[in-house]
Structure 1
Amino acid sequence: MLAALVGVTAFTGATILNGQMDSHAVDVTQAVPVVASAGLLQTDAAADTALVPYAARFSALVSAAAITALEDMETAEDAAANNSDLKQAGSTAKAALQAAAAEETPEESAKEETVEVPVSASTTGVAALGVISGTGVRMRSGPGTGYSILMTMRQNAAVAITGKDGSWYKVLYDGTSGCISADYVTRYESAGGLRHTGRVTADTLNIRSGPDSGSSAVGSVQSGAYVTVTGIEKGWYAVSYNGASGYVSGDYVALCAGGSTAAEAPAETPAEAPVEETPAVSEPVTGTVSGSYVVSLAQQYLGTPYVYGGSSASGFDCSGFTMYVFSQAGVSLPHGATSQLSYGTEVSRSDLQPGDLVFFQDYGAVASHVGIYIGGDQFIHASSSYYNGRCVVTSSLTETYYDGHYYTARRH
């Protein structure tokens, strides 16, 4: 009997395809365990000559995605899924993905024990800042699982805690108030070193040198602007904005998607299966599509899980999400990021308006990812990134990955 010792090294799709190490290589501790033959990474020579120049690379790309799980970027899996209409992801590669996924054992959602703390010394309506400690955590209309689901929260999202009812926190998130089980929230009354995003709700909000209204103003920010929330003290958020750092009242900042704590936890399995929601469409849209209307439709699906090849409210990939949202607004788009480039009118990055489609380029694809611009350098998208919780989230175009891979934009 012939015995062989096989050493396994983890690479990203780009590494395998290019035959060299690059910035996408990960430590073996981050890689998904592999039990598969080397044949999964081979491409058919005859097919290579029949496809477009970058098609052969995608044939191996999907298989590579089965053995890599990066946290800070969109995945090769997503790039392949959103170019499948170009025949770059065949049934054999998809089967390889499914086989690899079947061999993984899902982790149980992590529950962090909540330690009771003294009554907050807050001088605002915000008692504390809470960070969601699991994936698929539900915000409900009341303090119990019998109440209706308002939204599904992504892991590491920040919420404003305004009170407590039994074992449930009363919270505010992006203008929505509800309740979340305290078992899935890490509470901060006094903290620094965080990194979250908040949207200013006051007409003009002063940034002050200390956490009280008597401290001197060191700057100001206008309504609708996004600030980076780095901590909390007495119900005042420590923030940075355009080079100015200080404190703003928690009453006038809505915590929202777009930021996360410095230490990211690995992906976990939701305790509850996502619930399909039906958008509340006010009236049919004719002629030019209203960008704000498209954004309002898209935001109804925040927290919906990322699903390879998905294009329904139970789960999306990135182009499936944009296709679905625009179909609700009366615009027909194909399922494929590269294919969606052929629709609408090209606009420059400096001229972006809410409702524009923004495209990104990676893994050798013409367009590997797509999302919907919502204003303030923010966009909403179905993210395959473990960093974002693999769900529909709002991210910033200024984040390193998206800024470095931004490609173009289209308006409908």
Structure 2
Amino acid sequence: MKLKLFSCALLIALVLSAVPAVSSKAAGVPGQYAYTTTWLNFRTGPSINYSIMRVLPPQARVYVISGPYNYEWYRVSYDGLTGYVHGYYIQPAASGTTELSSQSTSYTNTTYSNTYSSRGLAIANTAKRYVGYRYAYYGNTPAEGFSCVGFTQWVYRLNGIWIPESLWGQYSMGWSVSKSELQPGDLVFFQNTWWRGLSHVGIYVGDGWMIDAGSPETGVHWSNINWDYFATRWFGARRLVN
């Protein structure tokens, strides 16, 4: 009898532990702004099973669209993108707040410095519009999808700049810049990804991030050039605009 009672108690405990608990610290108010409290993954869906589009910095201001989902996740917009963040790591902005905090403003000024080329920023912003589009071998339009070179060619063409649809052709354009001197809009190149030698290109958008047509699994997405995979495969960068 004692064994049966223990088994029942254990089963109840297991069931209760499997029920998601509402986080008392999850903080988000739909229709209002909030700030991130730490570096925060910005995901395509409301759980850790969804892919990361980018990592938001501390004190980034996000607009809460809806939620919570799965008890703790909120759909938010940030920098023209829509995704999901965990409510534990955001805090509501003060009522009526319309400006970023001083810490966030400092970050923003660092990221989007006025010293950056306006044309380069325009190229980076154009690239952001196509996050989520599908990958297609030899694709170079939104309708059919993009290869890595088709994507960069399309974005540059929308900004009035023609570049060839080939890796070496694009690498021959403009002038070389070092990794430490990258600015939004630069083309960043990698080797030994799909094949040996020069094999991949993306568009740098700032703070170590690029947007690239990665693979059929990822489509056009955010990638960080400092992740181990890309850091060990760095080939070079080219700047086409002043």
Letter in 2 for 1:224: T
Give the distance between the partners of 1:359 and 1:202, measured in 2 at CA: 36
Measure how far apart 1:116 and its partner are: 6.6
**SS of residue matched to 1:302:** coil
Contact 1:202–1:223 at 8 Å: present in 2 too? Answer: no
Distance change (3 Å), C-alpha of 1:202 and 1:223: farther
- Structure 2: 5+ residue runs without aligned partners? 1-18, 55-61, 90-99, 111-116
**Among candidates 347, 362, 365, match of residue 177 of structure 2:** 347
Give matches, 1:203-282, under 5 Å.
203-204=102-103, 222-224=106-108
Corresponding residue of 2:206: 375
Give matches, 1:297-336, under 5 Å.
297-314=126-143, 315-336=145-166
Contact 1:289–1:329 at 8 Å: present in 2 too? Answer: no
Contact 1:347–1:411 at 8 Å: present in 2 too? Answer: yes
Corresponding residue of 1:405: 233
Give the distance between the partners of 1:349 and 1:326, measured in 2 at CA: 20
Give matches, 1:37-48, under 5 Å.
none
Corresponding residue of 1:291: 120
Q: Does 1:164 align with 2:59?
A: no
Letter in 1 for 2:236: T
Distance change (3 Å), C-alpha of 1:379 and 1:189: closer
Contact 1:355–1:372 at 8 Å: present in 2 too? Answer: yes
- Structure 1: 5+ residue runs without aligned partners? 1-114, 135-153, 192-200, 206-220, 227-287
Measure how far apart 1:308 and its partner are: 1.1
Q: Does 1:121 align with 2:39?
A: no
Corresponding residue of 2:221: 393
RMSD: 3.9
Task: Name the TM-score, length of structure 2 as normaliser.
Answer: 0.61
**SS of residue matched to 1:164:** strand
**SS of residue matched to 1:372:** strand
Corresponding residue of 2:196: 364
State percent identity of aligned pairs.
27
**SS of residue matched to 2:76:** strand
Distance change (3 Å), C-alpha of 1:289 and 1:310: farther
